[in-house]
Each structure stands twice: as structure tokens, then as C-alpha cells.
Chain A
Amino acid sequence: MDTHHNDHGSDHGDGSNYLNATSGIWSWMFTIDHKRIGVMYTFGTIGAMMLGGLFALLVRLNLWVPDGVFDNNTYNQFFTLHGAVMVFLFVIPGIPGALGNFVLPLMLGAKDVAFPKINLLSLWLWAIGALFFVAVLVTGGIDTGWTFYTPYSVTNDSSMVFAVLGAFILGFSSIFTGLNFIVTVHRMRPKGMGWFNMPLFVWGIYSTAVIQVLATPVLGITLLMLAVEKMAGLGIFDPSLGGDAVLFQHFFWFYSHPAVYIMILPAMAIISELMATFSRKKVFGYTLVAYSSIAIAAFGFLVWGHHMFTSGQSAWAGLVFSTLTFSISIPSAIKVFNWLSTMYKGSVRLDTPMWYALAFLWMFTIGGLTGMFLGTMGTDVHLHDTYFVVSHFHYVMVGSIMFAFFGGLHYWWPKMFGKMYNEFMGKLGAVLIFLGFNVTFFPQFVMGSRGMPRRYANYLPEFQELHQVSTVGAFILGIGVAVGVWTLFSSIFLGKKAPDNPWGGTSMEWETATPPIEHNFHDTPSVKPVYDFSPLVYNEATGNWDRIAEESGDNHG
């Protein structure tokens, strides 16, 4: 068979790549290479995930017995820090920061993002924001819940100003990342790549970036007002100072609901890539999937009031929010059906990333459908602020977003580090995470509906059995995550050398060396029809998917 290169001829010639081109700590801390920034985000957000996970295990440990293992105040700090660390340090920045940064410019055949220095600033702001959260820990912790609801957060005498300023700074990190990606997608697409010839990952990251830029400033303003109220005693949200307690919830959710889409759209973006590559077919209804990302981003701004059906908000306002909430369920359903149909008549390969992708489909279905119980006003009244809600958003944030993050990591890891991980261990991790996750969270639906409120340090004995099942699940989940992370990291030292294109992906990141050279490409690869799998054939000897030379010229010198 006629192939134009193999995996030995595709590097710089001297074996240099972006990892070893320069060395020393400063070459990393002041790098403006999007790939190195992506790698640092990867390590940072995985670290944040492990810290948040540790708090989760402490929360679950406390709930082993009805009276709790820790005192109430300690428990309240655990669940607050679990939520704040996971949301602000892991789930929001995770996929765009780690995989978006690494992959997006490569997919566009570009040398970097549009503003490499601002990209470095984003990373630095993330790190500074993380330090503020460390300061929260050191100065006594917070117990407001990650939502900082007023007036409790204002009257709270703990170190919550640090947390608020930390979240404020992380907001700017997010805004700069979004700004960068918007400009990159608009200005740096290669000649010949129209909007509807972009990989769906680019579409997803682009929609996310739009929300990051438009919604995050509202969080910044809100948190600043909260800090001013707390430090200067200005009455904004605290009724005892003449403020309005519910106003905060409007402001907070005006950001934090779109933030859910900041989290889920990049996850969906990954799933589109995985479903196509491992089914060896173009995503079914590509155009509709692309438009549905934009639709979800747009509708996402108009649904915040569904967090407030019991707050005393007018019933008619509630009706509007309920309506808009259902309107967002349709594009989400479309995506699921389209991903499924992508497998139809495909050639489905079940490598580790695909295990995560299929688990995502299942978990996102449950997470999405249970959202309807909460978007429906009548049923939300009973379920609001119970474990049903806790379970629902964990099916979205863990069952969907974390699964997609892991799927994406297992997919692009060989490209990032040039090593293949152990396939058996990868699958073992996926299975343990899937089992542990469902054992943890499915019982929480039942608990919530039966009458278990959330954020309770202790509870009625009738819920003990379900709480114990949930706690056992959480520890299985913890082991699964440890196995997954170990599998990836150990591959850097133990793994076999990865070929350029181990999965047969069609987008441009697979056409450069593994790991990529510092400037990504010697020559910009030619633009081909998106998700065209026909020129790729598997080479048993090298484990690489070779591109049959239809066009002339060697892209790798």
C-alpha cells in the first residue's frame, strides 16, 4: 500500500519536539506555546480535581452515619470547598484550558492561538485564583456553599472574601481564554476551511468561548458587589442594610446557568470527535449538531430563573423560565440522537476513549432527562434543594463532563506526550469510574424524592441505607479516578512510543509529529473535507493510520 510517510520520518529530523525544545522551569512558566500552556492546565486541573475529590470523599464519609462523623461546621466547610474547587478550578477551566488550548490551534493548522501572551496570562490568573482558594483553606475555610447565597454569606464571619476574590480572578482567566479562542477561530482558520468544514470540537469550543466572554463579567460584578457589601457595609443584598436577598440569586444564576453550558459544550465537542473517529464515519447531521451548540449557548442565557422557582419569584416569570428551559432540551436531545446515528453502519472500534464516549451518552441521557423534572415547575417545588438536584447535576458534571474530559485525555494523550498508555488499565479505569459513579449517585435521586434535603450534616435514620450505598460508590469512584490518572501519567515513563495517528483521526492535529514540534507544522497541511475517513488505512506494523497519498507533497519534510 502506498503511504507517504511512517512514524519515524515525521519529527523535526533531530528528534526535537515542543516538550524538549527548550528546558528549565522558566521555559515552562513563561512559555507562550499553546501546547505547553495546555499541558500545564492539564496537570493543574487534574490536581484541582483530585483535591475536590478528596473533599467529596470526606463529605461522603461524614454521611456514613445519621449523626455524622465530623461536627456540623467541619462538614459544611467540606461540601463548600468540594463545590467551589470542582466548579471554579476544575470543571469550568478544565476542557477549554487543557484540551482546548492544546488541540484547537492544531486542528486549525495554526502555529498558536491568536494572542499567545494573553493565553499565558489566563494560566497565571488560574494559578493565582487557585492560591486564593488555598488562602481560604489556611485562614479557616468557608461554609457558605459554592453558591455564596446572601445574606448568609454576608453575615458569615469566615474568610469568604478570599473565596469571592479567587472566583473573581478565575472569572478573568476564563474571559481571556474565551476571547482568545473566538479570535483564533475567526482569524486563524486555514485557507479553504469554511465554518462548516471545521471539526465539531472547534464549533463546541467556539460556542463556549462566546458564553465565557458574555456571561462571566456578570459573575465578576456580582462577586465584587458582594465583597464591597461585606467589607464596606454597603447594602446591596443584605436586607438588614436595606438590600434585597433574592437579587443576588438572579445575578449569580445569570452567570452560573450559562456556566453550566461553559462546562457541557466542550464536553459535547469532545464526544462529537470521539463518536466520529471511533465509528469511522462523519457525525450524522453535522450541520444540525453545529447549530445546536450555538442554540444551546444562546438559550443558556435565558433560563437562570429555573433555579428560583421556590424563591418567591413571580409565577409568570417562572412560566417563562420553564418554557425556555424546555426549549434548550430539544437541541440537547438532537445531539444525543445524532451521536447515536453516527454509529449506524459504522465500523465501531472500542478503544478506551470510545468507552468513555459511550458512557457519556448513557450518563448524559440520564442527566438531561432528570433535568426535565426540575425544569417543570410543579415537580421542582418538591425536588428543589434535595438530593435529587444533587444527583441530577452530578450526572451532568461528572457523568457527562468528567467522562468526556477523561475520554478526551485518553484520546489526545498520545499526541500530547508521545506515549501510548496501557489499554487494559485505561478500560479498567473507565469501568470503575462508571460503576462507582452510578452506585454513588443513582440512590441520591431516590433519597431526594423521598425527602432528603441537600447540605445536611446529619439526617433522619430512614435514609442511612441509601447514604451508605452512595458512600461505597464514592470510594469506588475515587479508586477508578486514581486508576485512570495513574494509567495516563505512568505512560509517560512506561508507555510505548505513540505513532502520529494512533486512532485514525481526520483532523489536522493527527497530521503533525507525535509529540508535535514546537511550531506545530513545517507546512500548513492542506484542508480536506471534514471527517473524511476514506484516505486513512491502518498499518499493522507501526500501529499508525497512514494517509494514502492522493495529493502530492510530503507535509513533514
Chain B
Amino acid sequence: MNLPILNTLASLVQDQKVAVPSDPTAEGTYWFPVQASTLAEKSDWTFYYIYWVSAFFTALIVAAMVFMAIRYRYRKGVWEGEASPGHSWTLEITWSIIPFLLTIVMWWSGFKSYMYSDTVPPDAYTIQVTAQQWSWEFEYPNGAKTYKELHLPVDTDVTFVMKSKDVIHGFWIPAFRVKKDVVPGRYTKTWAHPTMEGQYTLFCTEYCGTNHSQMMVQVTVEDQDSFDKWVAAQADPSAGLTDVEYGKQIWSQQCIACHSNDGSVVIGPSWKGTWGTEREFEDGSSAIMDENYILNSIVDPNSQLVKGYPPAMPPYKDLSQDQVDGLIAYIKSLGN
């Protein structure tokens, strides 16, 4: 479908650049977070166009209303309005045609920016996104997986191929103006071309249950070199880390939702000060918190359930030996 007249009309107005800041150091405007993708400029233009049209008509209507309420206010004994035409085709056609023309511009420029965001570039860098209640998983082409953060290279087309393990989620990065639902049973795709290095937030926007509001992840846009280094390090997550650091990293991604490191109880027991102590179990037996106990608790958690806690933990059989070592080292470091 090609409507050149509309295209010209939209681009005519579009060239006039309505108050959209393009300063890269800007912190966002009154209405928007910073524009950090190529889509942002396009979609914001349409927003500001509608905004000014709306502001103008709101002012016009309210001014006319106030003026007439005062000018034609009731005066004692005036029981009926003055005679005036009951309708006027000239007026009525005018105020049908003008809104019609104004809306065509917003309709068309909105469609153009929508098509831009919906047309995924074929050779873009691809990140697999998996959503579940209530976390995100990002898998990069080199096999690296991250959970608590998403890194993107600046000035590069990035495609997100998304699926959900349970209910519908929504993938939204306001600074990019990118949003797409993540639907179980099918793949959905969206893409972005980040234009500015910085830290942004990714939100879940389709209501998905109890902790919907906690499905937020930090997005870091960085230069290609830093990104390459980072993504390589994620593929070999223990590189350059001590066992304790590695263990803490795994904890912060996969265990933190139930096990604290400071003594507070979330769902399962805290790890603080447990190393080497005697643990009492629901069935009355007990064991010392050592390497073998930790290994067993990871692969078969309910066989030695600590007294007073629910059998809520699923077995984590796909952790590598390095990862288990890391967790043991980390728990050890939390003292006894």
C-alpha cells in the first residue's frame, strides 16, 4: 500500500521538527525519558504532533465554553435563548473536515513509525529472550545467559526473539520506545537500534501475577569493545573470578529470591552463619552443613528439609561442578 500524498503530507510537517531535544546528554523531557534509540525520535514526533493539536483544541473548547457561559449568562426574565440558526451545514462540515485532516497526519505518521518498529532487520544481532513468572533470561549468540541484566552494543541493530514459559508478559524499554508482548505458545519479535550509551530499565508491561512489578531489569548500552568483552565473559562466567565471587554471582542470579545472605528469612533458610553448623530436619534427623550436604540440597533438596521450612525448592540438577564449588565457597565465606 502506497499513498504518496499522505507520505508527502506527513514528511512536510515532520521536517519542521517539533520541540524534540536531540542533545545526547539530555536527561529526558517533561513527557519522556531520554531518546536512546532510532525509533524514539520517530515515535516522539507523532506524540508531540498529537500533543499540540490536542492542546490547541482543549484551549479552544474551554475558552469558548467559559466565554459563552459568561457572555450568554441567564438574566432575569430571559426565559429563552435568542433566536439563532438551529444548525449550519457550513459550520458542521467545517468542524468535521478539519479534525479529519488533522487526524490523517497522526494516523499515517503513527503507522510509519509502527512499521519501522515492526520490521525486524534480517541480519541483526539476535538475543533470545525467555520470560517466566517473574524473571527474564537473555541468551546471546555465543551461548552466554544472563538474568539480572541485559547488555547491548551501541549503534547496532539488535533483534529480540521472545517466548514465554507460562503466561503473557510484556517487553518494554521506555528509553527505546520499544514494546512487544511475550506470548506463550508462539514467538514474538521486536528490535532496537540503541543510539546512546547508558543505563536504562526494562519493564514487564503485561500483568502476569503476584510479582509482576518486580520484573524489572537493568539495560546497559555500551561501545562494541566493552560489549564484546562483557559477552565473552558471560559465556565463561567464572573467568577471572575467585570461587567465592563466582558463587556470589550465581546466588544473586538464581538463589536470592529464596535464600538471603544476611540472616533474614525470605522463603528458605538464610545462608549466613550456617557453614559447619548442625542442621535439624523435618524428619528428626540432622547433619552438619558441609560440602556433601550442600551438594545434596541442590540436587535433591527435599530429602533433607530443614525444620520449619516449606518444601518449596525445585531440584537444580543442571548446575555444573564449577557452579556448585562456587556456591560452597560462597556459603563458607558467610561464616559460622
Contacts and interface: CB of A to CB of B under 8 A. Distances in A.
B62 interface: yes
A375 B103 CA distance: 10
A347 B100 CA distance: 32
B211 A72 contact: yes
Interface in A351-385: 358, 361-362, 365-366, 369-370, 372-373, 375-382, 384-385
B106 interface: yes
Given A369-B54, A372-B50, A451-B203, A504 B81 contact: no
Given A310-B179, A381-B178, A376 B68 contact: no
A453 B210 CA distance: 15
Contacts of A450: 28, 31-33, 174
B206 A333 contact: no
A382 B103 contact: no
A344 B179 CA distance: 46
A333 B99 contact: yes
B33 A285 contact: no
B186 interface: yes
Residue of A152, A318, A349, A454 most packed against chain B (CB within 10 A): A152
A319 interface: yes
Contacts of A341: 91
Nearest to B48: A379
A240 interface: yes
B80 A453 contact: no
Contacts of A370: 54
B174 A382 contact: yes
A343 interface: yes
A422 interface: no
A309 interface: yes
B62 A372 contact: no
B286 interface: no
A456 interface: yes
A282 interface: yes
Contacts of A245: 167-168, 183-185
Nearest to B88: A285
A262 B211 CA distance: 34
A504 B58 CA distance: 30
B206 A385 contact: yes
A354 to B, nearest CB: 8
A346 interface: yes
A365 B61 contact: yes
A242 to B, nearest CB: 9
B300 to A, nearest CB: 27
B73 A348 contact: yes
B91 to A, nearest CB: 7
Size band of the interface chain B makes with A: 35 or more
B64 A340 contact: yes
Given A346-B72, A453-B203, A456-B213, A378 B79 contact: no
B87 A284 contact: yes
Nearest to B75: A347
B218 to A, nearest CB: 11
Given A151-B168, A334-B95, A378-B109, A281 B65 contact: no
Contacts of A309: 114
A155 B208 CA distance: 11
A450 to B, nearest CB: 6
A239 B163 CA distance: 12
B43 A334 contact: no
Contact of B114 (A243, A288, A315): A315
B114 A377 contact: yes
Contacts of B107: 322-323, 326, 375-376
Interface stretch (A16-24, A129-137, A202-210, A457-465): A457-465
A293 interface: no
B310 interface: no
Contacts of A155: 166-167
A65 to B, nearest CB: 13
Interface in A435-484: 446, 449-451, 453-460
A330 interface: yes
Contacts of B115: 315
Given A285-B87, A361-B61, A453 B96 contact: no
B212 A378 contact: no
A489 B202 CA distance: 49
B188 interface: yes
B114 A340 contact: no
A361 B81 contact: no
Nearest to A364: B61
Contacts of B58: 362, 365-366, 369
B201 A382 contact: no
A76 interface: yes
A454 B275 CA distance: 43
A251 interface: no
B82 interface: yes
A386 B207 contact: no
A372 B112 contact: no
B90 to A, nearest CB: 12
Contacts of A287: 87
B193 interface: no
B179 A384 contact: yes
B72 A152 contact: no
A382 B81 contact: no
Nearest to B176: A382
Nearest to A351: B74
Interface string B93-117: 0011001100110110111111101
Interface string A217-258: 000000000000000000000011001111000000000000
A454 B51 CA distance: 21
B21 interface: no
Given A347-B78, A348-B69, A329 B99 contact: yes
Given A376-B46, A382-B43, A346 B79 contact: no
Contacts of B95: 333-334, 337
A336 interface: yes
Given A330-B99, A337-B91, A386-B205, 19 more contacts: A76-B210, A149-B206, A152-B207, A239-B184, A244-B185, A245-B184, A285-B88, A311-B181, A333-B99, A345-B81, A347-B78, A365-B57, A369-B57, A381-B114, A385-B207, A453-B172, A454-B205, A455-B207, A457-B213
Complex A-B, nearest 5 residue pairs according to Cβ-Cβ distance, in ascending order: A239-B185, A376-B110, A378-B113, A451-B174, A281-B81
21 contacts: A143-B209, A152-B209, A245-B185, A285-B92, A311-B183, A315-B115, A322-B107, A326-B103, A337-B92, A340-B65, A343-B65, A345-B84, A346-B68, A347-B81, A376-B50, A377-B111, A377-B113, A382-B47, A382-B179, A449-B47, A460-B201
